[in-house]
Amino acid sequence: MTDQILDVTVEAGLHAEQDLLAAVCKGEKDHGLLFWRPTDRALVMPRRMSRLEGFEAACAELAIGGWPVLLRETGGEPVPQSPAVINIALVYVAPRSEGDHGRIENAYERLCLPLCDVLREWGGLASVGEIEGAFCDGRYNVNLNGRKLVGTAQRWRQGLGGKRPVVLVHGALLLDNERESMVAAVNRFNECCELEQRCLADSHIALHEVVPQAPLLERLGSAYAQVIEGIARD
């Protein structure tokens, strides 16, 4: 496991995740854990949104405002990425013991539950679930004190040669408070594309607002090492 962080552009970070996923699919490694932090800003969204009326105009306006749009292959909604965010990518081969039923939920739990345990160690009220007013809201948000801290997503691929499926489960954790500008960027995109959703800055929270000196990478590196050990035993 690693407690090192990769400082890269948003585009390079997304590519690094896909490279890690491909390496596990090819059997070059059994698992992987990547922490990366953007050196720039971008509003990352599903490719399907490029078909929205007003998309090109929205991209032009957001780029001028410092939030260029990048497209991703997974679903969901627009997500702001910036140096205020720590990204976590956990990649592993699905254990045979759990079968195909429930593997999506299991993957989210392997990402989310260690995060919740660490937050509780630091005295926070941690939970998993939807938060009204959050951008890219979902059932597997990791929340701190009733506000969204981490957004999650996952992507599955079939291993080569008929091997077991491989998952990349991802979390974007807001480390520093950039809630206002992030929400403004998401809301402006939605306005330009005539989407109804509006997000609220107060629906989100940054870790450093609650635990300013949190040894995040060291603690999470250890927590996910235990997750990988458990998968290997299965």
* Dist. CA 126–CA 128, nearest whole Å: 7
Average pLDDT score over residue span 46-70: 96
Q: Which domain holds residue 139?
A: 6-233
pLDDT at 219 exceeding the cut of 90: yes
**Is 24 within 8 Å of 30 (Cβ atoms)?**
yes
Whether residue 101 lies inside any domain: the answer is yes
Whether residue 1 lies inside any domain: the answer is no
Whether residue 65 lies inside any domain: the answer is yes
Return the pLDDT at 140. 97
The three-point CA angle 76-78-79 to 5° equals 100
Whether residue 87 lies inside any domain: the answer is yes
pLDDT at 200 exceeding the cut of 90: yes
11 phi/psi in degrees, rounded to 5: -60, -45
pLDDT at 208 exceeding the cut of 60: yes
* Dist. CA 154–CA 147, nearest whole Å: 21
Whether residue 84 lies inside any domain: the answer is yes
CATH number at residue 57: 3.30.930.10
Whether residue 20 lies inside any domain: the answer is yes
- Number of domains the chain is built from: 1
Return the pLDDT at 72. 86
Q: What is the pTM of this model?
A: 0.94
Return the pLDDT at 160. 76
Whether residue 57 lies inside any domain: the answer is yes
**Is 44 within 8 Å of 136 (Cβ atoms)?**
no
Continuous H helices in 26-160: 55-64, 103-121
Whether residue 211 lies inside any domain: the answer is yes
